[in-house]
Amino acid sequence: MYANHHTHTEYCDGKASAAAMAAEASRLGMKVLGFSSHAPLPFRTEWTMDWANLDAYAATVRSLAAEYAPKDMDVLLGLEIDYIDGLCGPADGRFASLGLDFSIGSVHHVRPPALGDDPLATVDGAQEGFDALIAQGYGGDALALAEDYYRAVGLCVKAGGFDILGHFDLVRKNNPAQSRFREDHRRYRDAAMEAAETLRGTGVIVEINTGGMARGKTRSPYPEQWILRELRAMDVPVCVNSDAHDTAHLSAFREAGVGTARAAGYRELTIVRRGRRETVPLDA
């Protein structure tokens, strides 16, 4: 069954309206479309929703849900909620009053002590910003940044409060051709594995995210194949999401996402429906 639970809109940094995304998803034959605009943070950013728009966002998605229910597409209200160490996370329950159908827990931020309280240290911004973060936040030790990132991912999982873990190894987005750190380095692998271990038995679904490929930043979906194999061995459920910010990316590299699940030994995907979960065969 064709489903996508990672969909941005004009309410955050998406380029298309929720209505345009839903129309395209329906045209593509999608059965479940989950909206997951970036939830507001305790500080303003260019890419997260404003607190003032939350209710309008929820009302828009709910009205699309009513519109598409007779057309055999479930439209779900969700949010991509940031975990920032010591500041906020999906477990806070700040969005409980919206009655979300699901949420994605994501780490975009690290908080190296060297940068004080600067909340804008994201790992997925422009390459120059990432390089400056390595230099200023971690004294030039890119592996220390990766370790810090995975530490935050592990803390996010342990704190809980969400259904789907976003882009597990986002930290390699700005690591073209492994130019900033080696992904086969023991320190990198140990850090990623430690984060992966926190998922065991939690029921959290790990998304296979093709958004980095669609934006030309990575050559494989998140998470990398070897991580996915470890997750498979731990019986961690997975889904395939496009992290689409525009209609053209809604189904981008979906075959690569499904293919990487298959290559890692998965035979089924786990889909969030309204109020329940469903496992579906990988090839259906």
Nearest distance from residue 241's CB to Zn ion, in Å?
A: 8
| Window of 161-169, 174-182, 212-220, 263-271 that interacts with Zn ion by CB under 5 A | 161-169
Among 60, 221, 243, 260, binds Zn ion (CB under 5 A): 243
| Window of 191-199, 238-246, 250-258, 275-283 that interacts with Zn ion by CB under 5 A | 238-246
Q: Terminus-to-terminus CA distance in the chain, angstroms?
A: 5
Nearest distance from residue 130's CB to Zn ion, in Å?
A: 15
Q: Which residues contact 128 (CB under 8 A, 6 or more apart)?
A: none
Nearest residue (CB) to Zn ion, 106 versus 260: 106
Structure token digits, residue 163: 């259904």
Structure token digits, residue 16: 């298309």
Among 4, 9, 106, 174, binds Zn ion (CB under 5 A): 106
Structure token digits, residue 173: 């987005």
Nearest residue (CB) to Zn ion, 10 versus 243: 243
Question: Interface residues for Zn ion in 31-70 (CB under 5 A)?
Answer: none
Nearest distance from residue 78's CB to Zn ion, in Å?
A: 11
Amino acid symbol at 239: C
C-beta separation of 30 from 264 below 8 A: no
Q: Tally helices (H) and strands (E) across the chain.
A: 8, 9
Structure token digits, residue 118: 């600067």
The residues binding Zn ion (CB under 5 A) are 80, 106, 166, 243
